[in-house]
Structure 1
C-alpha cells in the first residue's frame, strides 16, 4: 500500500506513528515496582489506531497491513530493549498488545454502522467502551501487562484492566472521531463557550489533583458535561483528548499524591473517572449531533413537503380538468376551480348531494341517468361520459386507497373532441363524395380519350381531355379548400390597421372588367379595421366568391359591398349582398357549419362546404360576429363585424 504523507491517510499515519513512539517510550522508560502498574500504557490503543489507518477491519487485508503490524512490534521491542526490559517478557507483551489492538479493531468494525470509522452513534460509543474493557481484560489474562502472569486474577489485574481501558477507549474514541467524523450538519457552539472551556477543564484537573484527601475528583465531570452539551462531536473529541492528556501528564508530576493503596486505589479511580468524563463528553456530543441532524432533516423534509404542497396546489388549481375529492359519505371534501367551471354551478363542499339532480347530469344523448350508477364515493370505480348543459364530460372516479376511504372524481371536457370527430366524419363524407366522384369522372374521361385516339378520332379525344381537366380542377379545389381551412382556422393572428377599400379592390380585381358574365360590383366601403390582413382578405374573397358563384345560369352576377359603423362601439359592420339564388329557408345558420352544403345546390354548384365555416372562424377569432339572410329582392346578404381597435 503506497501512502503519501500529504494525503489524509498519510497525515493520520504520521500522527499515529508519532503517538506510538511517544507512548511506547513513556510506558517502557521505567520498569514498575512489583504489584503496581505503570502510569502510562497505551500500546494496544496505539496498535488499534495505527492499524485502523491502513485497514477498515471488515474487508480482506492487503499484504501491507502485515508490514504495519510488524513495524508496531519492532517499535515496542526496540524501545523496551533500550530501557533494559527482559527480551522474553518484552516479546510476549508486544505480541499480546498488538494482537489486542488488532482484535479491538475487528470487533469494533462489526459494531459500527455505515461506512464511517467514527463512533457517530450511541451504540458505537458505548460499544467501543465495552470492547476496550474486554480486550484489556484478555490482554491481562494472557499476561500481556508488566508484572501480570498468565491467568493471574487479582487486584493488580483489575488495575491493569482499568488502565488499559482508559487508554484504549479515550485514545480510540477521540482520535477516531477526529480522523473520520464528517461534519455535514453541525450546530456550532458559541465562541465564548469554546474560549472558556479549556481554562475550565484545566482548573478542574488541577482541583482533582490538588489534594487526594478532599472529595474533589468529581470536578473532572464538570467540563465533560459542559463540553458535550455545547460542542460538535469532533470538537468534543478534541476537548476530551486534551483533558485526558492533562490528566495523564498530571500523573507524571512530582506533586501527584494518588497512590495504589487499597483494593480500589485513588490512582485507579482517577483512570475510571477520566474514562467516564470522556464517555460523557462524546456521548452528549453525539446526542446533540443526532438531534441537530434530525432537526435539519426534518426542516429539509418540511421544506420539501411545503414546496411539494405549493406545486401540487398550483397544479390542482391551474389544471384544465375538474378534480373533486369525495369523502366516504359522498360529501365533497375538496375541489378545484375547473370543476366549478365545468359543472356550471357551485360545488357543495361538506354536503352529500344528488349530483344528477343538482347539476342536471344526463347521458350523452340526453337520456336520464340513475344516480346509483355513478358510484362516486362508494369505493368503486366509474368511467363514462355525461352531459352538463351544452358540455360533454368524460368522467372517471377511483378510490384513493387511503384510510379515509376517499374517492377522486376527474372531469374532462371532451366537447371539442367530439365536435372534431364530427368534423372528421364530415370530411370523410366530403372525400367520399366530392373527391371520389370527380376522380371517377377523370378516370372515365381519360379512358374515353384513349379509346378515341386508338380509333383514330383525335378531335373527339380533345373534348374528353377537356372534360377530364374539369374533373381534375374539381379535385384540386376540394384539396385546396381543406388545406386553406386547416391552416388558417388556427394560425397566428397578426393584427394591423387594414383599409377595407384596399382589400376589396384586390379581391374584385381578380374577376376582371370584361363584359358578359363578368360580375358587376357596387362598392361603398371606406372604413379601417384592426385585423389580420391575410385573414381579412381570405374572408372577403370567400364571401365575394360565393356571391359570384351562386348566380342563376345565364345571368350576370351583381355584388354590393358596403361598410357602416356597427351598433357595438369600436366595431365596423361589412355587408356582402348579391342577387343570386339565395339561401334555402331555415339554413341561414347551418351554412356556416363545416362541410354543410344545401341539398338543393349539390348537383348544380360545386364546393366543399368549408368556405363559410372558415369565414365564421376568422370573424370569431377577431371577436366579431357573422350572419346570413335572404334579401327581399332576391339573393342573400352576408354581414360580419370586425374591430376598429
Structure 2
C-alpha cells in the first residue's frame, strides 16, 4: 500500500463548501452566512485577548493530538489507527468567529506545515498535508454552520435558543459534516501527494477517510459537550457520580475482556453495553463512553489483541477499527440525544399537564362561582356535567330532574306546554343557537319557577354536543311584576284626572281661538301656558296609555285562536290611513290572541313609519313563512335603523336609541317583546336584506 504517513495525513478542518459572503460587515468570504437570526459580535478588550488565547491553545492542542495520532501507528507500518488532530482542527475553525476564520485557517496551515517538516516530510509533501487539513476543517465548518446554524459555539448570539449535541439534528449534521470534511481532506491530500510524486492508492484513501472521520467525531463531540457544559452550565443537567462511575465500570467490564483476547470475533457483545448507556445516560456521559470504548479498541489493536486480529489482514484491521469506533460514537451519541429529547418532551408534557390541570381547576372554580346554572349535554340529551348553580337548580325540580332532554315538562310563560322539538336542549343539540328563551318549570314543591335559557351547540369533537345556561329569575320577575302591577294601577288611577286636565286645557285653547275670531285678543303668555299645559298632558296621556297597554299585555289572559294577520294588518293600515306605505306579502295565520296581535303589529308599524329620516317617505314591508310549525315574520322598513350594539337594549322598558329626535315613551318594543314571549315566540332585530338601510324585525309565533 503506497500511502505515506506523516502528521498531515490525518488533519481535518471545518467545512465551508462553496464560499459565501457574510451579510454583516465581515470582510471574510470564508464564513458562511448563518442567517439573520444568528450573529457574532466583534470581540474587543478582554474578549479579544480571550480569542487570542483560544487560538494559541488550539495550536498547542493540535500539535499534541498529532503526536498522539502517530503513537497509534501499527508496528512496522505507516498506518495510524486514529487521528485526533483532525478533530482538534475542526474544533479550532468551528469555534473561531467569522472575522477570525481566515487567520485561524492560516495558523492551522502553518502549524501543520511545521509539524510535518519537523517529522521529516519534504516541502511538497508538507504542503499537500497543509491543503488537506485546511480543506477538511473548512468543509466541516461550512457544512455544520449551514446545516445546523443554531449549534452552540462561543460568542454566538441568536434570536432563537442555541442547541447542543444533546439534540438529534445537530448530531446528525455533525456526522454529515465529519464525513464531508474527511472526504474533502482525503481527496485534496491525495491530489497534493500525487503532485508531490507520492501517489496514494484506493485502500489508502479509504483508510485516510475513515480514520479522520472517526477522529473528528470523537474529538469534536466530546470537547463540544465539555466546553458547552463549562461555558453554559444551565444548558444541561449534570450527571451524578453514580452515573459516571457506573459508565466507567460498565465500559471497562464489557470492552476490556472482549478486546483482551483475539480468539473469538465478539466485538458485537460490548455494543449492548453501549446501547444501555446511550439510552439511560446524558449526552456528556455517553460521549465519554464512546471515546473510552474507542480508545480501548484502538489500544488493543495496536497491542495486537482483540477480535479484529482474528483472521484479518492489516488493511482489514485498520478499516474495521475505524468503522467500529465511528459506529460506537455515532450510536451512543444519537441514543443519548434521543433520550435527552425524550426526557425534555416528557418534562414538557408533564408541565403542560400541570398547567392544564391548573387551568381546569381555575375553570372549575370560575364555573362554580357563577350564579347562572350551566349544563354540558351529550348527543342523546344526557347531562354530562353541571356546575354548582346548575346542580342546585336541578335539585329544585321535581323527582327525575332534567336528566335527559325532553324528560321534564317545560312551559311557556303563558302556561302552555313546550312541544318536544321546542325544548331548548333538543334544539341546541341539533345545532341551533337558543338565545334568551323564557320558560317555566314546576319545582318539587309544586311552585312555578321562571328561567331564562341560552343554548349553544359545540362544534368540537367530543361527548358534549351543547352547552346550556339558565338563570332562575322567579324572584326578579316577581318584583318586576309587582312594580308593573303598581304602575298599571297608578296609570289607571291617573287616567281620570289626566283626562280632565287634557279636556279642560283643550277647551281653554278653543275658547282663545273663538275670542280671537271675535276680535278679542288674549294675553300671549296665557296662550303659551295653555299650549304647554296641553302638550304636557298629551305626553303624559301617551305614557299612561303605554303603561296600561304594557300591563294589559303582561296580565291579560290569552285567548288563542287562528288569527288572519293579513286582514289584521290591513285594518291597522286603514285606521292609521297609511295607504300604500305598508306592503303586505304572503303572511300565514298564527295561533294567538287577536287583541295582543293587534297591539303587536300596531306598535311595529307605528315605529316603522315614525322613525324615518326627515323628508323621506316611509315604506314598510311585511312577509312571513312557516318554519318548523311556527310562522316567521319580518317587518322591514326604510327608516333610521337600530345600531347593532342597541339591538337587545331597545326591548328594555323606557330604552331609546341615543340621538333619535322622534318622540316616544320607550315602552313600545318592550310591549312587543312581552306579547311575543307570552305566546312562546321570539322577537329580534336583524340586518335588512341586501344590505338596505333601515330596520328589520324578525318575529316567530306559533302557526295556526
Please state which band the TM-score falls in when normalised by the shorter chain.
Answer: 0.5 to 0.7
Q: Secondary structure at the match of 1:380?
A: coil
1:103/1:418 CA distance change after superposition, 3 Å: farther
Alignment counterpart, residue 326 of structure 2, candidates 275, 278, 281: 275
Q: Specify every segment of 5 or more residues in structure 2 that has no aligned partner in the other structure, as ranges.
A: 1-41, 151-160, 443-447, 499-704
The answer on whether the counterparts of 2:275 and 2:332 sit within 8 Å (CA) in structure 1 is yes
CA distance in 1, matches of 2:400, 2:276: 60
Deviation string, structure 1 residues 125-157 (Cα, Å, up to 9, x no partner): 344334423432232222259967799551111
Deviation string, structure 1 residues 288-347 (Cα, Å, up to 9, x no partner): 323322332232233233333333333333322101112222232222331243352169
Q: Which residue is equivalent to 1:395?
A: 453
1:305/1:206 CA distance change after superposition, 3 Å: same
CA distance in 1, matches of 2:191, 2:263: 29
Q: Secondary structure at the match of 1:393?
A: strand
1:271/1:147 CA distance change after superposition, 3 Å: farther
Q: Which residue is equivalent to 2:166?
A: 120
| Of 270-279 and 7-16, the range deviating more from structure 2 | 7-16
Q: Aligned Cα RMSD in Å? A: 4.7
Q: Which residue is equivalent to 1:480?
A: none
Q: Which residue is equivalent to 2:181?
A: 135
1:107/1:294 CA distance change after superposition, 3 Å: same
Report deviation, 1:411.
0.9
Deviation string, structure 1 residues 597-639 (Cα, Å, up to 9, x no partner): xxxxxxxxxxxxxxxxxxxxxxxxxxxxxxxxxxxxxxxxxxx
Deviation string, structure 1 residues 51-92 (Cα, Å, up to 9, x no partner): 22235xxxxxx3222222222222222322333322233233
The 5 Å alignment of 1:479-498 reads none
The answer on whether the counterparts of 2:225 and 2:284 sit within 8 Å (CA) in structure 1 is yes
Q: Which residue is equivalent to 1:411?
A: 470
Q: Secondary structure at the match of 2:428?
A: coil
Q: Secondary structure at the match of 1:54?
A: coil
Alignment counterpart, residue 49 of structure 1, candidates 73, 91, 94: 91
Q: Specify every segment of 5 or more residues in structure 1 that has no aligned partner in the other structure, as ranges.
A: 56-61, 438-645
- TM-score norm. by structure 1 comes to 0.55
Report deviation, 1:186.
7.5
Q: Which residue is equivalent to 1:285?
A: 336
- TM-score norm. by structure 2 comes to 0.51
Alignment counterpart, residue 174 of structure 1, candidates 218, 222, 227: 222
The 5 Å alignment of 1:540-579 reads none
Report deviation, 1:209.
5.2
| Of 315-324 and 116-125, the range deviating more from structure 2 | 116-125
Report deviation, 1:235.
1.8
The answer on whether the counterparts of 1:332 and 1:352 sit within 8 Å (CA) in structure 2 is yes
With CA pairs under 8 Å and 6+ residues apart, which has the higher RCO, 1 or 2?
2
| Of 369-378 and 110-119, the range deviating more from structure 2 | 110-119
| Of 133-142 and 392-401, the range deviating more from structure 2 | 133-142
Alignment length, in residue pairs? 427
Deviation string, structure 1 residues 174-207 (Cα, Å, up to 9, x no partner): 2333334778797887754532432443465554
2:213 is equivalent to residue 161 of structure 1: no
Report deviation, 1:173.
2.5
| Of 385-394 and 280-289, the range deviating more from structure 2 | 385-394
Alignment counterpart, residue 347 of structure 2, candidates 293, 296, 306: 296
Q: Secondary structure at the match of 1:128?
A: helix
Deviation string, structure 1 residues 402-454 (Cα, Å, up to 9, x no partner): 224601111124456667877998999999999xx9xxxxxxxxxxxxxxxxx
The 5 Å alignment of 1:147-296 reads 154-180=202-228, 191-192=241-242, 194-202=244-252, 206-207=256-257, 210-212=260-262, 214-215=264-265, 217-218=267-268, 221=271, 223-245=273-295, 262=313, 264-296=315-347
1:376/1:226 CA distance change after superposition, 3 Å: closer
Deviation string, structure 1 residues 541-567 (Cα, Å, up to 9, x no partner): xxxxxxxxxxxxxxxxxxxxxxxxxxx
Greater C-alpha Rg: 1
1:364/1:98 CA distance change after superposition, 3 Å: farther
